[in-house]
Structure 1
Amino acid sequence: MTGGKMREKTASERLLQTLDQQTITTLMCQILDLEDGELLQWQVQEISETNGAATGGVYRLTGTGRGQDREMDWSLILKVLCRTPAGKAPGGLEQEHVLYWKREALVYQSGLLNDLPGGLRGPHCYAVTEQDDESVWLWLEDVKDPHGPCWPLSQYSQAARCLGQMNGAYLAGRPLPAFPWLVRTSSPRGLLDHFSWMWKAVPDPTTWQHPFLRSAFPLPIADRLWRLWEDRGAMLDVLERLPQTFGHLDAWRGNLFAVPEADGEQRLIAIDWAYPGLGTIATDIGDLMAPSFGLFRVEPCDPRTLDRVIFESYLEGLSAAGWQGDRSVVRCAFALFTALKYGCLLFWLHQITDESQHSSWEQRRGHPLDECLQQQATLIYYLLDLADEGRGLIDVA
């Protein structure tokens, strides 16, 4: 090539060079349930928002094949797991580490997802392959949700009931999975300690003089936020002694899909099984409620309404699974976990005061900056109310 600099290959183009047609043909035949099929054409597209600690890339492969005298379209997802993805902190190298880099591959290989209670399942896994560079490739079902990215409240109700049935089955006597690589606690204690540096900005009055923050928080929150941070140790102590069960532990809307199955029934499919393990009751619905609201993944409503729909449906699921525990225990766990995890992680505060972060904020949420901040402010006000509710339930839980 002459005149000018040679264009650097994209991640998808580099990946394409490492794949062979026989591998893709074998995977295509699994997807289309063909004994012998012909691969006609295929392509690779990189998927954005690959935020996992061990995620080296997520790609969608699409193509066309021929079998049984007709042409058929197919697609699948390739998720690449690495010890140290480029530009990220290294994933945990020990099995007991919450960020253990190989956990998701072991989840699929173990068969853990083949018999989950409550109607929940993981995506079909067509293959797990270890590469020469020590990365692990997961070849997964390309799950599509007919609702699009934004669920109606009715779907949140169904998802919460399903999560309640799954959590409740283990609380009612189903043996907990015993794999040594499962996460051992859902407590956000370690997470909050790791990001404690964020709190230096809260007591500083100049932080709240930022025009965006003054507009979003007409009622000052610094004192209430600081009280939550100061109370975190005692609140975490209570949270960690409440009933424990098996959970997904990252069950927000972005990892859940409501999919019609061949039998006409709708199934809840959960992706991103990087953190499953032992967690306090109601952890999964705390993850379902707060980030889903903050990232505009629910039809327009206030957080109290979303909370009510999710929480009541979760209780129904627990009961259907055979667990007859105290409602106040569940509510205390939900209030404490949700307020602590999503009220104490102040990424949003630093992103707002750093103008270089504004475009990424808008891009991820799909809304203008002022709308993003207003949504976050509405959530923070509600989380502070939840913290107050949780404090009031500690003595009865």
Structure 2
Amino acid sequence: MPEVAAADAEVREVLGVPPDRAEFEPLPHNPSNGVTAGVWRVGGGGRTAVLKVLTRTKETGVAWAASNDPRHWNFWRREAYVYRSGLARVWEAHGIRAPRLLECADRPDGDVALWLEDVPGTPATVWSPARHVEHVHRLGRAQGAVGAGEDHPWLSRGFLRDHTTDRTTGAELLDDDAAWRHPRIRRHFPPGLRADMVRLHHDRAWFLTVMESLPRALSHLDQWPANVLSGGPGTSVLLDWAFTGDGALGEDLGTYLLDSVLDHFLPADELPGLAKAAYDAYLHGLRASGWRGDEHLVRLGVCASVVKYDRLTALMPARADDEPVAYGGTGTVPADLRYRERGLALAYLAERAAEARVLAPRLGFPPAPSGR
């Protein structure tokens, strides 16, 4: 039994077996995040559960450090509060649920152990585009019906601004001509992409202000295929509620689409078609829920949310000689595949940023500084 997962009474309570009869299987997760001590599938006595241990003492880099601030995007206890309060069930009536909470234990060392239902559904990492579109329709229905929801003191605020500001590593490379002449960059990045991405970086404050001024919605803020499972007909199961809080309507959709490609769950050349179908489905879900707002504001939220990926601009030339690591550190990705896919995805991202700059002034927002 892994030391950090050791909790004899919890194993007996949840699985009904002695601890020495339980088997712990590590599950992929972000090992850099200071909030997560570990995630395991635990089996014994013919039953299984998922154990996630939340902590504030794990040593990690500044960008992923755990926070004690309940409003901070990486507040270490948030996911426990989301489950204990019942907030994780708020979208159930609209087709999106969370795993059932089996046990939430405050440990003597200060950590929190979340014991969750081991959902047997198919992970969205292997879904077809059509199934992603179905999930997005459910998301629109859920966010349209619930809206901003009830505010709790531990829900995140300013996620996009803080998360983006914390990730500025390598910004000096934006002006480094030698870095952009790297063969891998020249081979896979379309002409003009550097200028588009540098412009996004310089307009970052404007994009963030626009996003913070749009209609609000209770948002998961980490929706991507590794956090979604099928849950039976007409149902998705959403994992990892650690960032949950205030977001713009359309923000969850915008990042779901890009993350599906950036982490190689869908090929980048499918992104334009998927994005159109997904946006239409999301909007249809909003309307079906009774939402009667201005759909152009939703479109602006989807487009302007691409500011989250400003951090990739400098990371690409900075890591052009590295062997890319797959999600959760579970292998590697061929470098040329990573850069070809990222080049196409960033080109799509630049198009959405350009659309946001055109759309925002039509809706009464000041124009972007670089567009004046």
Cα drift, residue 301 of structure 1: 4.5
Matched with 1:92 is: 67
- The letter of the residue matching 1:327 is E
1:223 maps to amino acid: A
The equivalences for 1:57-136 within 5 A come to 57-63=38-44, 65=45, 73-89=46-62, 90-116=65-91, 117-136=93-112
Quick check: 1:376 aligned with 2:349? Answer: no
Q: Does 1:170 align with 2:154?
A: no
Deviations 1:34-78 (A, max 9, x none): xxx899943112223334341111111123x2xxxxxxx321111
Query: Alignment length, in residue pairs?
Result: 358
Compute the TM-score of the two structures, normalised by the length of structure 1. 0.83
Counterpart CA distance in 1 for 2:353 and 2:337 is 24
Out of 30, 33, 37, the position equivalent to 1:50 is 30
**1:3 alignment partner in structure 2:** none
Deviation at 1:194, TM superposition (A): 2.4
Give how far 1:169 is off: 1.1
Query: How much does 1:200 deviate?
Result: 1.0
Alignment-derived partner of residue 267 in structure 1: 235
Contact 2:218/2:246, CA 8 A, preserved across alignment: yes
Contact 1:249 1:284 in 2 (8 A): yes
Partner Cα distance (1:50, 1:194) in 2 = 17
Task: Output the amino acid matched with 1:146.
Answer: T
Mapped contact 1:361–1:369 kept (Cα < 8 A)? no
Whole-Å Cα distance in 2 between the matches of residues 257 and 95 of structure 1?
28
Offset, 1:184: 2.1
Is contact 1:195–1:345 with CA below 8 Å preserved after alignment?
no
Q: Which residue type is aligned with residue 247 of structure 1? A: S
Unaligned runs of 5+ in 1: 1-11, 30-36, 66-72
1:340 and 2:307 are equivalent in the alignment: yes
Aligned partners of 1:137 and 1:58: how far apart in 2?
10
| 1:228-286 CA distance string (max 9 Å, x none) | 111222222222111111111111111111122xxxx3421111111111110101101
The offset of 1:364, in angstroms, is 5.5
Superposition deviation, residue 191 in structure 1: 2.6
Q: Aligned match of 1:27 in 4, 7, 14? A: 14
Q: Does 1:330 align with 2:330?
A: no
Query: Could you report, residue by residue, the CA deviation over 1:294-315 in whole angstroms, capped at 9, with x for unpaired residues?
Result: 1122367421112112111100
State whether residues 50 and 58 of structure 1, in contact with CA within 8 Å, keep that contact through their aligned partners in structure 2: no
SS at match of 2:142: helix
Distance in 2 between the 1:183 and 1:140 partners? 22
**Aligned equivalents of 1:360 and 1:306: distance in 2?**
26
Residues 259 and 269 in structure 1, CA contact (< 8 A), matched pair in contact too: yes
Question: How far does the alpha carbon of each residue in 1:181-200 deviate from its partner, in whole angstroms, 9 at most, with x for none?
Answer: 011234x2223322234321
Residue in structure 2 matching 1:302, options 264, 270, 279? 270
Specify every segment of 5 or more residues in structure 2 that has no aligned partner in the other structure, as ranges: 364-372
Please identify, of 75-84 and 188-197, the stretch whose mean Cα deviation from structure 2 is larger. Answer: 188-197
Choose from 195, 205, 218 the match for 2:177: 205
Q: How does 1:187-226 map to 2 (within 5 A)?
A: 188-226=160-198
Measured after TM superposition, the shift of residue 369 of structure 1 is: 1.8
Identify if the C-alpha distance between structure 1 residues 197 and 25 changes in structure 2 by more than 3 Å, giving closer, same or farther: closer
Q: Give the 3 Å change call, closer, same or farther, for CA 219–273 of structure 1 in structure 2.
A: same
Quote how far apart the aligned CAs of 1:220 are.
3.8
Name 2:130's counterpart in structure 1. Answer: 154
Give the letter aligned to residue 200 of structure 2. Answer: L
1: CA distance between counterparts of 2:314 and 2:112? 30
Matched residue type, 2:149: L
**Mapped partners of 2:120, 2:77: distance in 1:** 25
Structure 1 range deviating more: 359-368 or 284-293: 359-368
Structure of higher CA gyration radius: 1
Work out the CA distance in 2 between the residues paired with 1:266 and 1:366. Answer: 34
Cα shift at 1:367: 3.8
User: Which residue of the partner structure matches residue 3 of structure 2?
Assistant: 14
**1:179 maps to which residue?**
152
Displacement of 1:329 in angstroms is 1.3
Return closer, same or farther for 1:158/1:53 CA change in 2, 3 Å cut-off: farther
1:54 maps to amino acid? V
SS at match of 1:395: helix
User: Do the aligned residues in 2 keep the contact of 1:124 with 1:141 (CA within 8 Å)?
Assistant: yes
Higher-RCO chain (CA-CA 8 Å, sequence separation at least 6): 2
- Cα 1:214/1:304, change in 2 over 3 Å: same
- On the 8 A contact 2:73/2:163 being kept in 1, the answer is no
Separation (CA, whole Å) in 1 of partners of 2:20 and 2:111: 28
Inter-CA distance 84–147: structure 2 relative to 1 (3 Å threshold): closer
- The alpha-carbon deviation at position 128 of structure 1 amounts to 0.7
Over 3 Å counting, the alpha-carbon distance change for 1:53 and 1:318 in structure 2 is farther
Partner Cα separation in structure 1 for residue 36 and residue 27 of structure 2: 12
Q: Is the 8 A contact 1:156 1:309 kept in 2?
A: no
Shift in Å, 1:26: 2.7
Q: Matches of 2:241 and 2:224 in 1, distance apart?
A: 12
